[in-house]
């Protein structure tokens, strides 16, 4: 029966490729992906999925469900479809959205016999304010047994780790004055931001090597002869796991308060994007996906790469067994978030990645539905790691 998935993917690959190119040609930023969502949900509806849009109060998020009449696990495939400003689909989300959709449709053709359910979740804004965060917090995954997503890359890699991340904004308020005639009357908010950067730079030698802290000055004054009364810095703070990240963030906030005390400015601290947790790969599920991909793809599957990025799939992995592997587009050294990466998604290598990724996802879902020992092992690993 598993061989039927090959035919199911072959039957829809033309449609998947057409949809991927549509997304590529019409890139939409996070939470603005209305056309992209429509393309994917129309296709799912055509294949008898029940669609709910606007879930978790995100207008471009959706849940598409296909239920059999028999009991069994619920398999979720996660679709991303947001683009990058000025780059378009430089992270290949046009392929991610269509791979997950294709896997869901292909597996739906078999669940009437295997039992269980197939769910495709549309998850907007991964690049900025990922919808998987409120989904994880508001119960979207409460009745789901496994969650899977595949990301395009230069080469194929097994699912691995990602860093937990907080996006923190520090806004200082001071007092303006003539910078030459009466500087003693002013309180320089920009000086606070500069001391914040200096303090963070001093902190770097006293944190573990996995920590990444990087920021910008988004507001720093309007004219050189006016003491800046407002200044703002935005930072991403990352670490290997949430527990240690919380410790580092506490230290960064203490530095920020010290900078305010040094200058006399007042400080407001806020999160300007949602926080991402670290990715915990379910190794049993990952190994089965890797086995399937090796049988499908003619290219090697390399071990998980060391990652210093952050993904909202990390939040998902805290509440349900999950994987986030990479499918290669046969161009080693290709860099994410570039126009070259976007262009590679619409080549023949991109099409092959779409086919192989969708098929391997569908095959892994089938294995979970039909192999009770596999499903039990996945659950046991998750209960031990959570």
pLDDT digits (tens, 9 = 90+) for 41-88: 999 999 999 999 999 999 999 999 999 989 999 999 999 999 999 999
User: In the sheet that 301-302 helps form, which strands lie side by side, from edge to edge?
Assistant: 151-153, 326-328, 156-157, 301-302
Query: Can you name the CATH fold of 4-162+276-385?
Result: Aminopeptidase (3.40.630)
Could you tell me the pLDDT band of residue 385, with boundaries at 50, 70 and 90? confident
Could you tell me the pLDDT band of residue 299, with boundaries at 50, 70 and 90? very high
What's the rounded mean pLDDT across residues 88-98? Answer: 98
Cα gap 198→89, rounded to integer Å: 36
- pTM (two decimals): 0.93
Helices (H), 33-89: 34-46
- Class of the CATH-defined domain 164-271: alpha beta
Q: How many helices (DSSP H) and strands (DSSP E) are in the chain?
A: 12, 14
Strand partners, 77: 120, 148
- Non-local (6+) Cβ contacts of 351 within 8 A are 13, 17, 20
Are 360 and 156 within 8 A, CB to CB? no
pLDDT digits (tens, 9 = 90+) for 238-292: 999 999 999 999 999 999 999 999 999 999 999 999 999 999 999 999 999 999 9
Strand partners, 167: 236
Domain borders along the chain are: 4-162+276-385, 164-271
Phi, psi at 154, each rounded to 5°:
-70, -40
- For residue 31, is pLDDT > 90? yes
pLDDT digits (tens, 9 = 90+) for 333-377: 999 999 999 999 999 999 999 999 999 999 999 999 999 999 999
Cα gap 313→324, rounded to integer Å: 7
Which tokens hold the place of 233?
Answer: 């810095």
Residue 69, pLDDT score: 86
Strand partners, 234: 169, 216
What's the rounded mean pLDDT across residues 317-321? Answer: 98
Could you tell me the pLDDT band of residue 306, with boundaries at 50, 70 and 90? confident
Are 221 and 228 within 8 A, CB to CB? yes
pLDDT digits (tens, 9 = 90+) for 170-195: 999 999 999 999 999 999 999 999 99
- For residue 196, is pLDDT > 80? yes
- For residue 203, is pLDDT > 80? yes
What's the rounded mean pLDDT across residues 119-143? Answer: 96
Residue 3, pLDDT score: 86
Cα gap 104→98, rounded to integer Å: 10
Could you tell me the pLDDT band of residue 235, with boundaries at 50, 70 and 90? very high
Q: What is the 3-state secondary structure (H, E, C) of 243-270?
A: HHHHHHHHHHHHHHHHHHHHHCCEEEEE
Are 152 and 327 within 8 A, CB to CB? yes
Angle between helices 348-370 and 283-296 (to 10 degrees): 130
Cα gap 32→245, rounded to integer Å: 30
Residue 285 sits at the vertex; the CA angle it makes with 242 and 326, to the nearest 5 degrees, is 75
Residue 365, pLDDT score: 98
Cα gap 190→217, rounded to integer Å: 9
Could you tell me the pLDDT band of residue 307, with boundaries at 50, 70 and 90? confident
């Amino acid at each position: 029966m598993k061989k039927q998935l090959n035919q199911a993917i072959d039957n829809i690959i033309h449609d998947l490729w057409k949809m991927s190119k549509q997304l590529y040609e019409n890139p939409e930023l996070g939470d603005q992906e209305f056309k992209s969502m429509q393309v994917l949900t129309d296709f799912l509806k055509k294949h008898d999925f029940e669609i709910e849009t606007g879930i978790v109060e995100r207008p471009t998020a959706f849940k598409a469900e296909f239920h059999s009449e028999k009991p069994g696990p619920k398999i979720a495939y996660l679709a991303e479809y947001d683009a990058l400003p000025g780059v378009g689909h430089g992270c290949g989300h046009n392929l991610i959205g269509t791979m997950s959709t294709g896997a869901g449709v292909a597996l739906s053709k078999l669940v009437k016999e295997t039992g269980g359910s197939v769910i495709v979740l549309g998850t907007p804004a991964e690049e900025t304010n990922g919808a998987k965060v409120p989904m994880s917090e508001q119960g979207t995954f409460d009745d789901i047994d496994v969650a899977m997503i595949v990301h395009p890359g230069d080469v194929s890699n097994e699912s691995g780790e990602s860093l937990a991340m907080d996006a923190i904004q520090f806004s200082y308020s001071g007092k303006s004055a003539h910078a030459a005639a009466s500087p003693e009357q002013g309180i320089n908010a920009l000086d606070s931001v500069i001391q914040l950067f200096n303090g963070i730079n001093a902190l770097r030698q006293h944190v573990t090597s996995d920590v990444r802290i990087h920021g910008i000055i988004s507001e720093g004054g309007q004219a050189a002869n006016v003491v800046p009364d407002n200044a703002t810095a935005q930072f991403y703070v990352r670490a290997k796991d949430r527990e240690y990240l919380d410790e580092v963030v506490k230290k960064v906030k203490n530095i920020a308060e010290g900078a305010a005390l040094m200058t006399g400015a007042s400080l407001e601290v806020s999160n300007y994007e949602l926080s991402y947790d670290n990715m915990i790969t379910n190794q049993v599920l990952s190994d089965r996906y890797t086995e399937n991909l090796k049988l499908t793809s003619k290219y090697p599957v390399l071990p998980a790469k060391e990652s210093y990025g952050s993904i909202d799939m990390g939040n998902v992995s805290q509440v349900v067994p999950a994987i986030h592997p990479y499918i290669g587009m046969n161009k080693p050294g290709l860099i994410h978030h570039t126009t070259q990466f976007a262009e590679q998604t619409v080549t023949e290598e991109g099409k092959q990645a779409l086919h192989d990724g969708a098929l391997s996802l569908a095959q892994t879902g089938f294995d979970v539905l039909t192999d009770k020992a596999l499903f039990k092992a996945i659950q046991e690993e998750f209960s031990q790691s959570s």
